[in-house]
């Protein structure tokens, strides 16, 4: 199975900050990397697919980069509604695996 | 409105069985692969199983292979997960999730349901 490792596990940031979350795959996954946002008690929401493609309706302050083994999710200017947990997911091979999550908290 | 609505969760004893369902609306259900993803309390996301749009191809995580069965009824726009020989470690919120195409592999999830809680305990 492909292991996905996110860093950091949590971070504290202020509104307006630029935030970067990293996801590393245990082998090359091309651009088969997706990012989700989850708020407490809610279902995950797709933000980015294919490493860098913004899902329809997602604000442009979210961006992603890849390919290969190292990927990043960047929030250019953190907004109050962005405080949540973020997960990466590889869809290169089955079983599809998720990172352990990064919790973004208010500083 | 495009949505997925899970049902059927509840409390079941270890070794017991349960079937959860996911009713889809607002899109052509048979055109899209579907998956089940679970989340244990306070933990991260774990992919469980997937099925192609036609239902002809199915996939399972090793942790549930041989115990869980995914199926779909395209005439009823409904996805199912039959769970047998349940264990305490199967306790989780079970989400159904839609893929953007008919193939279940190399895909992401562009629509999620609210989830249904399955608790395995004596």
The model's pLDDT over B84-107, given as tens digits with 9 standing for 90+, comes to: 999 999 999 999 999 999 999 999
Q: Do B44 and A46 touch (CB under 8 A)?
A: no
**Residue B84: alpha-carbon gap to chain centroid:** 14
For the stretch A36-85, pLDDT in tens is 999 999 999 999 999 999 999 999 999 999 899 999 999 999 999 999 99
Check if B46 contacts A (Cβ < 8 Å): yes
Nearest partner of B81 among B92, B95, B70, judged by Cα: B70
Percent helix, percent strand, percent coil in chain B, to nearest 5: 5, 50, 50
Check if B96 contacts A (Cβ < 8 Å): no
Do B84 and B10 form a contact (C-beta atoms < 8 A)?
no
Average pLDDT, integer, range A9-31: 97
Q: Which of chain A's residues have a Cβ under 8 Å away from the Cβ of B37? A: 44
Average pLDDT, integer, range B2-30: 98
> For residue A107, is pLDDT > 90?
no
Average pLDDT, integer, range B16-40: 98
State how far residue B95 is from chain A, nearest Cα, in angstroms.
8
Q: Do B106 and A32 touch (CB under 8 A)?
A: yes
Check if B2 contacts A (Cβ < 8 Å): no
For chain A, how many helices (H) and strands (E)? 0, 11
CA nearest A55 in B: which residue? B110
């Amino acid at each position: 199975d492909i292991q996905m490792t996110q860093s950091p596990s949590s971070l504290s940031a202020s509104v307006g900050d630029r935030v970067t979350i990293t996801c590393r795959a245990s082998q090359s996954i091309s651009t088969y990397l997706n990012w989700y946002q989850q708020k407490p008690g809610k279902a995950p929401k797709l933000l980015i697919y294919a490493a860098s493609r913004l899902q329809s309706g997602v604000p442009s302050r979210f961006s992603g980069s890849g390919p290969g083994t190292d990927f990043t999710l960047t929030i250019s200017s953190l907004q109050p509604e962005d405080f949540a947990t973020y997960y990466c997911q590889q869809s290169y091979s089955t079983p599809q695996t998720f990172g352990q999550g990064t919790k973004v908290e208010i500083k | 409105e495009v949505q997925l609505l899970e049902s059927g969760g509840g409390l079941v004893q270890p070794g017991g069985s349960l079937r959860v369902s996911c009713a889809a609306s607002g899109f052509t259900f048979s055109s899209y692969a579907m998956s089940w993803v679970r989340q244990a309390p306070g933990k991260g996301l774990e992919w469980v199983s997937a099925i192609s749009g036609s239902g002809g191809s199915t996939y399972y995580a090793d942790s549930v292979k041989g115990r869980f069965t995914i199926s779909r009824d395209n005439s009823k726009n409904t996805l199912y997960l039959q769970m047998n020989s349940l264990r305490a470690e199967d306790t989780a919120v079970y989400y159904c999730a839609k893929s953007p195409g008919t193939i279940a592999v190399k895909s992401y999830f562009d629509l999620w349901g609210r989830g249904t809680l399955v608790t395995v305990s004596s």
